[in-house]
Amino acid sequence: MYETLVIAGGVACLAVAIYHLMFWRILQWKTALASLDVSNRNVMQIFNVCLILVFIAFGYLAIFHVDELVATRLGNHLLIAIGLFWLARGMQEIYFFGLRRPRSRVNLALCVVLFGLFVIPGAGSL
């Protein structure tokens, strides 16, 4: 059962990576970021690219190394760390965006689900 949760989390992480790849178009960054100075504009894009790589790494590990993640102490701690990443992301959603917009509520729900998909197997296997 834990393996299924981890794989589901990995698939979701890859979906989030694809979503982040679309930020340039969805958020109209070509025009929206034009008002920022060069440093801030580039930092936004660099952070997004780095997050995409992190989400791909999370997804890859969860899908292709699920046995090691669930069966080893290091893997359990890594699952908990990934879960805590999603918990922190969810708390930031509330702090920076609030929960008035439906998109913010969806983002928070996704973060809570991802937190559970990684922490439950990680803590349950310790």
Q: What is the pLDDT of residue 125?
A: 83
Q: What is the pLDDT of residue 59?
A: 98
Instruction: Look at the chain and report how many structural domains it folds into.
Output: 1
* Cα 100 to Cα 96: distance, rounded to the nearest angstrom: 11
Please count the CA atoms within 13 angstroms of the CA of 57 that sit on its side-chain side: 9
Per-residue pLDDT of the chain (126 residues; tens, 9 = 90+): 999 999 999 999 999 999 999 999 999 999 999 999 999 999 999 999 999 999 999 999 999 999 999 999 999 999 999 999 999 999 999 999 999 999 999 999 999 999 999 999 999 988
Q: What is the pLDDT of residue 126?
A: 80
Among 121, 31, 111, 17, smallest CA distance to 59 is for 17
Domain range enclosing 23: 2-124
